[in-house]
Amino acid sequence: MANKQFPEGFLWGSASAAYQIEGAHDLDGKGLSNWDHFVRIPGKTFKETTGDVAVDHYHRFAEDIRLMAEMGLKTYRFSISWPRVIPDGTGEVNEAGLQFYDNIINACIKNDIVPMVTVYHWDLPQALVDDYDGWEHRRIVDDYVAYATVLFKRYGDRVKHWITMNEQNVFTMLGWMAGMHPPGDVANNKMFYQVNHHANMAHAKAVLALKELFPESKVGASHAFGPAYALDCKPENHVAQMNSNDMGNYWWMDVYAYGRYPKRTMKYLTEMGVAPQFEAGDEDIMKAAAAKVDFMGVNYYQTGVAEHNPIDGVGAAKEKMNNSGKKGSTKEVSGVPGMFKRPANPHLETTDWDWTIDPVGLRVCCRDITSRYDLPIVISENGLGAFDKQEENGRIHDPYRIAYLKAHIEELKIAIDEGSEVWAYCTWSFTDLLSWLNGYQKRYGFVYVDREEEEGSGTLNRFKKDSYYWYEKVIASNGAEMDFDPTTMK
């Protein structure tokens, strides 16, 4: 297309999560989260890293938002820590926690940055885990909605974009199937699907609560969308692709957009005896909320491949994922017997953490959402984790990140030209941060943070990478200018 610019008013943004950046894990009345507890279990994270200090955004948020303003960022997507706002998960509210997020929101607005708030980005109050096992119990639904309503009432006059859940498919899959996130269960199929139903009901009731208070607010959930390609043109592999997308993507996205689960997957789960239990009225609530959802949030990093898997074929992978950054250390093939398995894609390059690099996949996501749901799209995460190094002169050259983002943005523009309505593109992330299981060595940011794995290491000072200057130019040109050398910029 001749027009290289993005639509007028397009929100060029970046994203973060409270546990990964804030630190101050036990200050000013904050309660402990499930992650504060989980990372203290030996062997769970790379070199036993924690978010106790993270990159100290709690004390440095003003500096970080100033750097966003200098870049010209249009939106900042951040999450609120449930235990910072309600330390015990339910009951008494912590005013110091509420004020902290007031300060962030007000600083964003002062600098013409649209605040985009994620209600839940995985840090559950540990008190609720101790009390009734958190997401495993139906009580979590009402406690979550009460927490979300506190946020809506406090910030709804200024926050117009809300994301209820971040990557529900990831925190439940890694928590109850792979054992790598809290609570660390392995292959607990029955609980996995029940937990997801509880989270879906929490999302639905929160959407209805928000729309009751602020009907004009925009709300959706962010799904980690990894489309599956069929291995080849064999019909059985195409069916495997359908099964993979149903079980790995549409199981969540159909709920957000339609208020129902995919029929094929529900039939399979019923036959296996692991389908979630509904309470009276659940279907009506899910459908009512779906009618009020305004956009589909997409966290996009990679695609997968689907191949026919016989009934006696491979199941969930038993090996741990690559969290060391040693390329090629992920070897396993996982799947669901009788439904699909996921071999590697020989046509794509991978990151040092063995994630496929597939810019076209972002376009596939947008096309699929537009065709299947006819909803606007918010790209709520997209980015490259890499080993960034600071030179003696303080500069950080990251041409690989620029190339990655440029290729994805180009495909996103094609998707828009093809008819997808995309409101925002948020990179992951603005500053470097704690990469959950991968420590601090896996850097994602435009801004380098001086710290390593050990607590107390580094100054935590901020330094602009080459990609910072590149994205600044992209934003200023509304996506029209991406071919230039940021090393020539100060």
Q: Which of 307, 381, 411, 472 is labelled catalytic?
A: 381
DSSP letter string over 286-350? HHHHHTT---EEEE----EEEB---TTS--S--SPP--S--TT-----EEETTTEEE---TTS-B
Between the alpha carbon of residue 314 and those of residues 50, 190, 250, 336, the distances in Å are 34, 19, 22, 7
Among 138, 41, 134, smallest CA distance to 89 is for 134
- Could you give phi then psi for residue 138, rounded to 5 degrees? -60, -25
Could you tell me which residues come within 8 angstroms of residue 233 by beta carbon, excluding any fewer than 6 positions away?
A: none
> CA-CA distance, 421 to 413, in Å (whole number)?
10
Instruction: For strands 422-428 and 304-306, give the pairing.
Output: unpaired
Instruction: Kindly provide the b/e burial profile for residues 108-128, where b requires at least 16 CB atoms within 10 angstroms of the residue's own CB.
Output: beeeebbbbbbbbbbbbbbbb
Please give the sequence-ordered ranges of beta strands (E in DSSP) within 391-478, or none if there are none.
422-428, 447-449, 462-464
> CA-CA distance, 373 to 353, in Å (whole number)?
32
Q: Which of 167, 307, 411, 472 is labelled catalytic?
A: 167
Active site residue 381: yes
In the 3-class helix/strand/coil scheme, how is 186-252 assigned residue by residue?
Answer: ECCHHHHHHHHHHHHHHHHHHHHHHHHHCCCCEEEEEEECCCEEECCCCHHHHHHHHHHHHHHHHHH
Give, as one character, the DSSP assignment of residue 366: H
Reported residue count of the chain is 490
- Could you give phi then psi for residue 160, rounded to 5 degrees? -110, -5
Among 301, 294, 253, smallest CA distance to 427 is for 301
Residue type, 457: S
Active site residue 453: no
Inter-residue contact 412 to 425 (CB < 8 Å): yes
297: which strand partners? 222, 378
Positions marked catalytic = 167, 381
